[in-house]
C-alpha cells in the first residue's frame, strides 16, 4: 500500500489489510477495537430504558487474547520506530491488550483514563456506575514523538495529565460506538505532525479519518462492515479541509489562520 494518496480506505478484515502495509510506514495508530462487552447478560440504558448490551456480532469474539495478539502484532510491524500506538478499551479487553504490549516488548508510555461525567446511569444498583474508558499509549522504544508542549497549550498552559474529562457526545452516525471527535483530535494532535500518516484498523464510523483530514494528516482506515465503511467514506469525504476545528479549544479557524496556529503550536 502506498501513501501518495492522502486518504486510503479499505473495506475488509484488518488482519488481512494490515499485511499489505509496509514495515515502519505509519507514524501514529489509533485503534478502537471490539471491546468484547456485548452479550445477553449485559445491560445498558437507552433513552432511559434498560436494553441488552449488543453492539453487533463484531463485538463477540471467542478468543479475545488471540485476536488482540494478531492485530496488535501487525500494527506494531507497520508502526515507525518513533511512532506511537493508542488503543482504546474498557476492563473487558484492556488487561488483554496491556499483557500483549508487554509480551511484544513495547514501551508503555501512558495509560489514559477518559472520564465521561455524563455517562448513562446504572440500573442494576449493584455496583459502581461505569463512567470511564481507558487508552493505552505505547511505542517501540523510548525515543518516540510526543507533542508535550502542545498538550500544555491545549490544557491552558498547565501540564496535561492522564485523566481526561470529555463528555460522551450525541452520535453523528448510526454506529453504536462512535467516538467523540474532540477525544480523537487530542490524540492526533499529541501524537503526530502535519502530513504524517495515521492508521485506524477499526475505523467504525470514520471519526479518526474525519479528524485526521481536518488536521491535514494522511489517513489509512480499515473497516470490516460494508455499511459502516460506506458511512465512514461519506463522512470523511464531507470534511471541509478549508476549515480546521480545534474542538478542544472551541476554535473554528480558516485554513490560513489554522495553519499558522498549528505551526506555532507544533514548532513550540
Ligand atoms: C469500536 S468500533 C470503532 C468505532 C470508531 N472509533 C468510531 O468512532 O466510529 C470497532 C469497529 O471495528 C470493526 N471491526 C471489527 N472487527 C474488525 C476486523 N477484523 N477488521 C476491521 N474492522 C473490524 C467493527 O465493524 C466496528 O465498526
Specify whether the backbone of 206 is left (phi greater than 0), alpha (psi in -120 to 50) or beta: left
CA 180 – CA 207 distance, rounded (Å):
8
246 near 185, Cβ under 8 Å? yes
Nearest CA to ligand 1 atom 15: 58
Q: Which CATH number fits domain 7-267: 3.40.50.150, 3.40.50.620, 1.20.1260.10, 3.40.50.1860?
A: 3.40.50.150
Residue 232 reports pLDDT greater than 80: yes
pLDDT at 260: 54
Return the ∠ at Cα 267 (arms to 261 and 268), rounded to 5°.
95
Q: Give residue 73 CA to ligand 1 midpoint distance, Å.
A: 17
CA 245 – CA 43 distance, rounded (Å):
35
**Does 228 sit in the ligand 1 pocket, CB within 6 Å?**
yes
**Does 259 sit in the ligand 1 pocket, CB within 6 Å?**
no
**Does 222 sit in the ligand 1 pocket, CB within 6 Å?**
yes
CA 8 – CA 187 distance, rounded (Å):
20
Residue 254 reports pLDDT greater than 50: no
88 near 201, Cβ under 8 Å? no
**Does 83 sit in the ligand 1 pocket, CB within 6 Å?**
no
pLDDT in tens, 46-100: 666 666 666 677 767 888 999 999 999 999 999 999 999 999 999 989 999 999 9
59 near 37, Cβ under 8 Å? yes
pLDDT in tens, 169-206: 999 999 999 999 999 999 999 999 999 999 999 999 99
Mean pLDDT score of the chain: 87
Percent of the residues in the chain that have a pLDDT greater than 70, as a whole number: 80
Residue 23 reports pLDDT greater than 90: yes
Q: Give residue 223 CA to ligand 1 midpoint distance, Å.
A: 6
SS3 assignment, position 113: strand
202 near 229, Cβ under 8 Å? no
Sign of CA dihedral 191, 195, 199, 205: positive
Comparing C-alpha atoms, which of 185, 160, 179 is closest to residue 246?
A: 185
C-alpha cell at 159: 501540564
Domain regions of the chain by residue span: 7-267
CA 215 to chain centre: 15
Q: Give residue 183 CA to ligand 1 midpoint distance, Å.
A: 17
Nearest CA to ligand 1 atom 3: 204
Q: Give residue 153 CA to ligand 1 midpoint distance, Å.
A: 31
Amino acid at each position: 500500500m502506498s501513501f501518495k494518496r492522502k486518504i486510503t480506505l479499505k473495506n475488509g478484515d484488518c488482519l488481512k489489510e494490515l499485511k499489505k502495509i509496509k514495515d515502519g510506514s505509519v507514524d501514529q495508530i489509533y485503534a478502537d477495537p471490539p471491546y468484547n462487552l456485548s452479550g445477553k447478560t449485559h445491560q445498558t440504558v437507552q433513552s432511559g430504558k434498560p436494553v441488552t448490551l449488543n453492539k453487533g456480532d463484531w463485538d463477540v469474539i471467542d478468543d479475545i487474547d488471540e485476536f488482540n495478539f494478531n492485530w496488535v502484532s501487525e500494527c506494531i510491524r507497520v508502526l515507525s520506530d518513533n511512532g506511537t500506538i493508542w488503543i482504546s478499551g474498557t476492563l473487558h479487553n484492556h488487561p488483554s491488550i496491556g499483557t500483549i504490549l508487554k509480551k511484544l516488548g513495547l514501551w508503555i508510555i501512558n495509560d489514559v483514563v477518559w472520564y465521561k461525567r455524563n455517562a448513562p446511569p446504572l440500573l442494576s444498583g449493584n455496583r459502581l456506575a461505569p463512567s470511564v474508558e481507558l487508552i493505552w499509549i505505547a511505542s517501540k522504544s523510548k525515543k518516540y514523538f510526543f507533542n508535550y508542549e502542545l498538550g500544555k497549550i491545549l490544557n491552558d498552559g498547565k501540564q496535561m495529565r492522564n485523566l481526561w474529562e470529555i463528555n460522551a457526545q450525541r452520535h453523528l452516525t448510526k454506529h453504536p460506538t462512535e467516538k467523540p471527535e474532540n477525544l480523537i483530535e487530542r490524540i492526533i494532535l499529541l501524537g503526530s505532525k502535519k502530513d504524517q500518516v495515521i492508521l485506524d484498523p477499526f475505523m467504525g464510523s470514520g471519526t479518526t479519518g474525519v479528524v485526521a483530514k481536518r488536521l491535514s494528516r494522511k489517513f489509512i482506515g480499515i473497516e470490516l462492515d460494508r455499511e459502516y465503511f460506506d458511512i465512514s467514506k461519506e463522512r470523511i469525504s464531507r470534511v471541509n479541509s478549508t476549515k480546521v476545528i480545534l474542538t478542544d479549544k472551541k476554535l473554528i479557524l480558516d485554513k490560513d489562520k489554522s495553519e499558522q496556529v498549528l505551526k506555532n503550536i507544533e514548532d513550540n
